[in-house]
Each structure stands twice: as C-alpha cells, then as structure tokens.
Amino acid sequence: MCGRYADIRSPHDLAVQFGLDIDDVAGGVLERHPVWNVAPTMLVRVVAEVPGPDGSPIRVLRLARWGLVPSWAKDPAIGSKMINARAETVADKPSFSAAVRRRRCIIPADAYYEWFTDPATRKKTPFAIRPVDGAPFAFAGLYERWQNPADATGNDFLVTCSIITTAAHADLANIHERQPVMLTPDRWDRWLAADTGVDEALALLHDSYVPCESFAVSSLVNNVRNDGPELLDPL
C-alpha cells in the first residue's frame, strides 16, 4: 500500500516534468509548501487532463484531498478508507469503477515511505523509497468530484483522489508486499487521455516500474505532525 509520501518539488519543476504550461497550475498549488510527510486527508498535487475553453484537452496541476470520495457517497468521511485502490480490482469496485473510466490522474511524489515488519519481533522499521534517477514518481491515480447534496447552489464540491497499488516489484518485495503503480513516462499520455478505454488503461498498470533505491529512515515519520527534510535522511 501507500500511506505516506514526500512531495517537495517546485510547481515549476513539476510543470516541466509533466509537460504542462505554468499557466495551467492552480493557484493553490503555487502557494503550497513542500511536504516531506504527506498523509491521508491532506491536500495533494495531481496532474490531470480536462477540457479547455475550445473543448480540446489541457493538462493541469491541481490540488485534491487524498482519500477518494465516490460521487454517490452520502458522507465524505468515507474518503479516509479510500486512499488506495488495488490495480487488480479497481475496475470492478463501485467506489472506483467510474473514476477509472473517466477521471484518471498522475500523483507526483519525490519518495514514499513503507514499513518493514520484522517477522520475529514484529518491530516495524520505516523505509524511504525513491527513483534512482532523481526524477519524481508518477503514481497512477484516480480522482472524483463529490457534490454536497445539501448545497442547493451546486458550488459546494470536493475533489478527492486515490493512489493505485499493485504487487511489489522484486526489488521492493522484501520491504512490503504492495507498492504504488509507478507509471513510466511512455505511459503518461495514454493514462491521462479521455479516449483511453478501460482495458487499455488497466493494461498500462501492469509491469510499469522505475528503478528505485530504498533505505531505512527515522521513526519520526511515524508521526504525521513531523515534517522536514530530515525525514529523508538515511540511517
């Protein structure tokens, strides 16, 4: 699974990395500070494609709350249970099936954290995992817009997201059995494109991996109130 990650790159760098115009970066993204300990229910940055003024797609960088709230949900609190979606079942689950058809996104991350459990002592040790080439991860994600049914104006809506996970690559399976789906650059365009069908989208989730390095880090990361570059210092 993925329950914590670091998102520290500048908006300009992300715009260049993911091929979008800086004018298509939302104001909230520009004002957001680096976060070394992103946790569920926080606002996170997502890359998506939406219709532009002339109807053609434009790529944008926006904020969404981590923890997907399906459009049919009566209470947005359900999102705290929807931070991850399994690649193996994402198209079949009512909570995610609509989003995987129409609202796919990329969630950038500089690193993510996973906890190794010692089988003998059950002690948990946090590890940081990041790309060896220094580029950001492009996690496969989904997003939704939830409309507050009590709002008659139609202006009270919430944008939320989820990270898709898969079985861990052999390089990481010794730490945890699951990992986020790491989309390689050659898959970004088709993952985001509105005309990509479900079968093609699901195929993009398979065998997509970027070489990673992993290292033990301080237990400071266990507490969501701790945030700073020291969280990524190797022990």
What confidence tens digit (pLDDT) does each residue in 124-180 have? Answer: 999 999 999 999 999 999 999 998 766 655 566 799 999 999 999 999 999 999 999
Angle at 9 between CA 16 and CA 234, to 5 degrees: 135
- Is pTM beyond 0.85? Reply is yes
Looking at residue 31, what is its pLDDT?
86
Q: What is the pLDDT of residues 65-76, one digit of tens each?
A: 999 999 888 888
Question: Whole-angstrom Cα distance, residue 190 to residue 57?
Answer: 13
Fold of 4-110+134-210: hypothetical protein yedk fold (3.90.1680)
210 is written with which tokens?
């970027």
Q: Indicate the residue type of 67.
A: G
Q: Looking at 2, 105, 161, 212, which residue is catalytic?
A: 2
- In terms of pLDDT, which residue wins out, 110 or 29? 110
b (16+ CB within 10 A) / e for 159-169: bbbbbbbbebe
Question: Whole-angstrom Cα distance, residue 230 to residue 226?
Answer: 10
Looking at residue 155, what is its pLDDT?
61
Looking at residue 23, what is its pLDDT?
85
99 is written with which tokens?
């989003």
How do the domains of the chain map onto residue ranges? 4-110+134-210
* Kind and range of the H or E run holding 31: helix 27-31
Q: What is the pLDDT of residues 179-225, one digit of tens each?
A: 999 999 999 999 999 999 999 999 999 999 999 999 999 999 999 99
Looking at residue 40, what is its pLDDT?
96
- In terms of pLDDT, which residue wins out, 154 or 86? 86
Burial class (CB in 10 A: 0-12, 13-18, 19+), 113: buried
Catalytic-residue membership of 161:
no
Q: No. of H helices and E strands in the chain?
A: 5, 12
Looking at residue 96, what is its pLDDT?
96
Question: Whole-angstrom Cα distance, residue 25 to residue 185?
Answer: 20
Catalytic-residue membership of 2:
yes
Q: Looking at 49, 105, 114, 161, which residue is catalytic?
A: 114
Q: What is the pLDDT of residues 16-40, one digit of tens each?
A: 999 998 888 887 888 889 999 999 9
